[in-house]
């Protein structure tokens, strides 16, 4: 395990925090990066993170992420702050950050803890953001969800475009 530059930790946590708003966003972004820039560290690992490097996994996650974007607008979709949803978001953020840190010879446990915490914090931040923008007289719930989708996609794309290949050693 080596000391990572702070920007690598920041990038992994930025992508992990996307899971708070859209649970598949962070791990899909990580799979996108890893499938295009495979890590030798992950290839030799016994951890499940290595599967994120396979294009079929990245593509499958992308399809699931699109399904989540659609499902979020449905009236029967539960609140993201319910226990099951919180657990999934925290797990997604933890997995995202741990995979990216491990890919760079960092500490996966640090990624699990900090990535999960970032996902939980962003879950509540995005929940209250959505409540504020969809108050009566403002955006409809569907329009608020679409705005949130655009912000998540823009944030993920910004992290990938800004750091892209430099994110994986």
pLDDT in tens, the chain (169 residues): 567 777 889 999 999 999 999 999 999 999 999 999 899 989 888 889 999 999 999 999 999 999 999 998 888 889 999 999 999 999 999 999 999 999 988 999 999 999 999 999 999 999 999 999 999 999 998 899 999 999 999 999 999 888 665 556 5
CA 16 to CA 124: how far, in whole Å? Answer: 14
With respect to residue 1, please indicate whether it lies within any of the assigned structural domains.
no
Backbone angles phi, psi at 165, to 5 degrees: -60, -30
Give the per-residue pLDDT at 26. Answer: 97
Do 114 and 13 meet the contact criterion of CB atoms below 8 Å apart? yes
Confidence (pLDDT) at 2: 62
Contact (CB, 8 A) for 25 and 19: yes
The C-alpha atoms of residue 97 and residue 16 are separated, in whole angstroms, by 6
The domain containing residue 27 runs over which residues?
A: 6-164
Would you state the structure tokens that stand for residue 26, as one six-digit string? 């962070």
The domain total for the chain is 1
Q: Answer yes or no: is 13 within a domain.
A: yes
Give the residue among 47, 51, 71 at the shortest CA–CA distance from 59: 51
8 A C-beta contact, residue 122 and residue 20: yes
In a domain, residue 96? The reply is yes
pLDDT at 167: 59
Identify whether 169 is part of a domain.
Answer: no
pLDDT of residue 46: 81
In a domain, 133, yes or no: yes
Indicate the DSSP class of residue 114.
H
DSSP codes of every residue in 45-68:
-SSGGGGGGSHHHHHHHHHHHHHH
Does 111 fall in a domain?
yes
Q: What is the Cα–Cα distance from 40 to 91, expressed in whole angstroms?
A: 24
In a domain, 138, yes or no: yes
pLDDT score, position 164: 65
Residue 152 to residues 14, 61, 140: CA-CA distances in angstroms?
A: 11, 16, 18
Task: Give residue 161's pLDDT.
Answer: 86
């Amino acid at each position: 395990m080596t000391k990572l530059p702070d920007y690598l930790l920041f990038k992994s946590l930025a992508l992990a925090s996307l899971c708070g708003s859209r649970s598949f966003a962070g791990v899909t972004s990580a799979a996108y990066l890893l499938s295009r820039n495979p890590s030798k560290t992950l290839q030799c690992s016994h951890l499940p993170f290595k599967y994120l490097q396979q294009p079929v996994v990245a593509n499958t996650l992308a399809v699931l992420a699109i399904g989540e974007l659609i499902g979020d607008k449905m009236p029967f979709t539960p609140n993201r702050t319910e226990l099951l949803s919180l657990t999934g978001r925290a797990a997604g953020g933890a997995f995202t950050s741990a995979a990216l840190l491990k890919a760079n010879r960092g500490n996966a446990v640090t990624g699990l803890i900090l990535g999960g915490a970032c996902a939980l914090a962003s879950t509540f931040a995005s929940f209250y953001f959505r409540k504020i923008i969809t108050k009566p007289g403002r955006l409809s719930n569907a329009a608020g969800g679409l705005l949130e989708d655009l912000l998540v996609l823009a944030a993920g794309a910004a992290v990938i475009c800004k750091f892209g290949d430099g994110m994986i050693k």
